[in-house]
Structure 1
């Protein structure tokens, strides 16, 4: 009986290798590598100024790398020495300002980059207008449209030439919050149907989690972590990575015998040398709260460790959860906890906090402020 053939991974639609770009001796993009498959949405996520948009411009060919290579379907399109011009790369671009032509109506904007016969062009434009719910705006001009309608026109125009790759730079940042979720979901559905490889730049973790098949977390010109949203969120590379996705609480301790003593009990730090300072990171939603019983809290447990007492400084209702801030007895630090639904204890109320061991991250101590 023949042995089963190993799975053959398809050729990446987009592949960049060791891409770097320097300005005045500073690496704005520093040795960046990633791949995107057909139909896959990858989010390049990071704070403003970390090199995300420059990476997109290098891939599109509107800027030129100092080092590295870009491939489309396995074909080299630029390596610093030779380059395929932007219009020949089969790459669509969509930016936050939409950049619609004000003197062209909606149908003309969508059909601007479409080649082929007049009949083929008309058929493609009509199909996209229908898909995007824009048929009744075909003869309108951009200034007559809402922000959400302009966004859909920009997407249709980018998709009309059937690009192999879609590059999107903060495409939803100009939209009203009430419209944004619906427009994002609609855009994602259309992109999946078209089968393009999508590289989306954003500085909003929620947007990346909502849209991405894979997240590439970028900082100071480098990709510091890459993977499925669940993995990037639940196994952050460092304290800064954890803090980028949500508020965090940080407790600093020193390792002795692979254990760190804190007011919340001991934490495991396997493989960390004695005397090393570490940061124990916990998100507010993973802190448990219990009531004060005449100066005593609940008994310690293996899962939640030792309780520590704090006094409420303030509590706020955030819509679907409550955020409570505590001043801790043991060192005067402030810790935050989020509680589902409504929980608004008065300032000055003493409560006991516990930390779930399975939701903690232990990193070598860093003085760097979480970004």
Structure 2
């Protein structure tokens, strides 16, 4: 699919398939085209080119278009959009058709699943934010949509509540065997919920795969940086090797004379104490130790972040350490980097 505004491609040749009972996450920074993609699938936005199918049946191209209300697609957004003048039961039943008794049975079934049956006759303003979100989920699932589209649905909840609501939502969606397309800009949310992540940037899907693969086999430096803080070493390749103060890194297939960035996450930096001006001996797994001086250290709750001013060029490198480790400013330490956790990309 493609969508342009004022001659600029907001969604640029996006091709995506989602499966029943699975959660696919469109992950990327604000403005990358995630929500526009969702709106085109929902039918509230028309694509400039491309086709959309549900169960192999065409629902939209640039000429033919099934109206949004007939696409069997559920929608959930940041704004729960509950009707304030309707009870919880009437909100959930809003999109249902058929005999009154059948509708009531479906409403009660879903409210039991989201543990809100006791509020069936209450009104939205009488519920907490988390409870309203669960009512919105029940309403979206009530007509048994084939696809559920979710645009940042948990961003309005406070952090303590969010994890529990996400897990409950995921369990119910799996139980209903619904195909889910979730939009978020939060990597943690994508890793927690998705069976598959499609990483978007500049209107394109730049990488797609299982969360573990997207995290551990990033396509470029920006993909690494989207999931975590990074350290970057510059080097030049000679004989398929990049020489750095941490020793040599393999760069197979990279032409001689090519400048590269060696990228690694702070949690993959190992720290050793200074022993009379010497650090640990080189090893194949960790390479050569480089000397640094503590610039700043902070305890962050589950881990500590230590920033070092490196001797070799005066740059700052960051390391994270589990639990409490807050060395004093000016302390000399030696840093090594795990070779199997480093990525080499053209600079």
TM-score of the superposed pair, with normalisation by structure 1:
0.93
What is the distance in 1 between the residues matched to 2:283 and 2:185? 39
Counterpart of 1:236 in structure 2 is: 218
- Residue 138 of structure 1 and its aligned partner are, at CA, apart by 1.1
Match in the other structure for 2:179: 197
User: 1:141: how far off?
Assistant: 1.1
Runs of 4 or more consecutive aligned structure 1 residues displaced over 3 Å after TM superposition = none
CA RMSD of aligned residues (A): 0.5
Instruction: Give the corresponding residue for 1:14.
Output: none
State the shift of 1:142 in Å. Answer: 1.0
Shift of 1:204: 0.3
Distance between the aligned counterparts of 1:102 and 1:57, measured in 2?
25
Name the residue aligned to 1:252: 234
Structure 1 residue corresponding to 2:245, chosen from 250, 263, 272: 263
Match of 2:128 in 1: 146
Alignment of 1:113-262 (within 5 A): 113-262=95-244
Pairwise CA distance, 1:135: 1.1
2:45 aligned partner? 63
Deviating more after overlay: 213-222 vs 289-298: 289-298
Task: Give the Cα separation in 2 of the matches to 1:50 and 1:144.
Answer: 37
- Correspondence for 1:346: 328
User: Pairwise mapping of residues 346-365 of structure 1 onto structure 2 (< 5 A)?
Assistant: 346-365=328-347
C-alpha separation between the residues in 2 aligned to 1:272 and 1:239? 16
**Which residue of structure 2 lines up, in the alignment, with residue 11 of structure 1?**
none
Question: Is residue 2:36 matched to residue 1:54?
Answer: yes
Deviation at 1:160, TM superposition (A): 0.4
DSSP 3-state at the match of 1:36 = coil
Q: How big is the shift at 1:343? A: 0.9
Match of residue 285, structure 1, among 267, 287, 291: 267
- CA–CA separation in structure 2 for the residues paired with 1:232 and 1:93: 26
* Distance in 1 (alpha carbons) for counterparts of 2:111 and 2:270: 51
What do the CA deviations read for 1:217-241 (whole angstroms, capped 9, x no partner)?
A: 0000000000000000000000000
Report the CA distance between 1:317 and its aligned residue: 0.9
In the alignment, the residues of structure 2 paired with residue 194 and residue 326 of structure 1 have an alpha-carbon distance, to the nearest angstrom, of: 50
- Give me the whole-angstrom Cα distance separating, in 1, the residues matched to 2:239 and 2:329: 39
Per the alignment, residue 320 of structure 1 pairs with 302
Q: CA deviation at 1:91?
A: 0.1
Once the 2 structures are TM-superposed, how far is the Cα of residue 79 of structure 1 from its aligned partner? 1.0
* Offset from partner CA, 1:57-92 (integer Å, 9 cap, x none): 000000000011100000010111111000110000
Could you report, residue by residue, the CA deviation over 1:31-61 in whole angstroms, capped at 9, with x for unpaired residues? 0011111101000000000000000000000
SS in structure 1 opposite 2:279? coil
Structure 1 residue 325: Cα displacement: 0.6
Which one of the candidate residues 257, 282, 292 is aligned to 1:310?
A: 292
* Residue of structure 2 in register with 1:28 after alignment: 10
Tell me the distance in 1 between the aligned counterparts of 2:210 and 2:170.
17
